[in-house]
Structure 1
Amino acid sequence: MKNEKCGGAATPRWFGYALQSLVYLAHHAENDVRCPSGEIATKVCTEATLMRRILARLARANIVEAREGRDGGYFLRKPPETITLAEVYRALEMTEPLCTGLMDTASDGMIGMEIKGAFSGIMKETEQLMMTLLEKRTVADLVKEVYEVKK
């Protein structure tokens, strides 16, 4: 498992963990199975505490629901065909866009300071294109790609 800080600010890595957890939940949804956060964390190779933070954000966005108790766990609130990847991205309320590494390189040196404005424009356009693409894809699309290839 990779160590990931469990602080309050969502990072781009959270998006990957969120998508993996939703694919896992969607694959188990047909059997009406509720999955505990520890089980999901193990399947996506992260810490249970971080997984609970991610799932809490998805629950606030009405993407998943949590049930407590002996038969508790997480499950999808709606069909995976209706959950867009853009919805998941927005639910995480990430403080940094996925392409922040570009801006990290534009903070030092003569060229870095001068090119920051150009990089900013590229990042904004990239983010818009990414969101357009994420609106077109659903969790069901990922489930199909992940599980039907293995059959």
Structure 2
Amino acid sequence: MSESQRFPTAVHALVYLAHSKATPHQPVRSVELACSVNASHVGVRRVTARLVKAGLIGSQDGRKGGAWLRADPERITLDQVLEAVAGPVRLGATPPSWADEPAGSLGTAIVAAIAQAEAAMLQRLSKISIADLVDATRPDGS
């Protein structure tokens, strides 16, 4: 699974687990999650392993194993999910600076713009919970 697919796959899996009301006694198997996400079960397992490591879901191996949420869906926010599956967010690397660049300290301006964009994105993601997405996917939209 490509890096660009980890975050949407993780969010989909968390919403699916919330919808299914999975528990340690009735976990959702990785094959079922993979079918829901339309991805390979190996890729889904890699993503869920990161979610387990972050403490967002629980997991049990074996024939009767699977995954479940470890926290209330209202307490799991998308910034936490992004951090769990992608690590610290970086929209780009710091560009090199040249002493003779015509635009002066262009590198510093670019770094500042990227930092502002990253902060705005994370701030917005911190306001969206898995419960919000569960609510948005209900047939009646409520």
TM-score (ref. length: structure 2): 0.78
Which of the two has higher C-alpha Rg?
2
CA-based RMSD of the aligned residues comes to: 2.8
Equivalent residue number for residue 78 of structure 2: 85
Equivalent residue number for residue 120 of structure 1: 111
Q: Distance in 1 between matches of 2:88 and 2:120?
A: 18
Match for 1:29: what amino acid? K
Higher fraction of helix: 1
Q: Deviations 1:99-132 (Å, cap 9, x if unpaired)?
A: 44xx7xx89xx99xx8555433222111101111
Q: By how many angstroms is 1:95 displaced?
A: 6.4
Q: Distance in 1 between matches of 2:62 and 2:22?
A: 21
1:1-150 alignment runs, 5 A limit: 4-5=1-2, 11-29=3-21, 33-94=26-87, 97=90, 99-100=91-92, 117-149=108-140
8 Å CA contact retained: 2:22, 2:68: no
TM-score (ref. length: structure 1): 0.74
Worse-superposed segment, 37-46 or 14-23: 37-46
Match for 1:21: what amino acid? A
Residue correspondences, number: 135
Q: Distance in 2 between matches of 1:77 and 1:41?
A: 20
Match for 2:129: what amino acid? T
Q: By how many angstroms is 1:142 displaced?
A: 0.5
Worse-superposed segment, 83-92 or 31-40: 31-40
Q: Secondary structure at the match of 2:138?
A: helix
Q: Distance in 2 between matches of 1:84 and 1:122?
A: 25
Question: Sequence identity, in percent?
Answer: 30
Q: By how many angstroms is 1:70 displaced?
A: 3.0
Q: Distance in 2 between matches of 1:95 and 1:61?
A: 13
| Structure 1 residue ranges without an equivalent (≥5) | 6-10
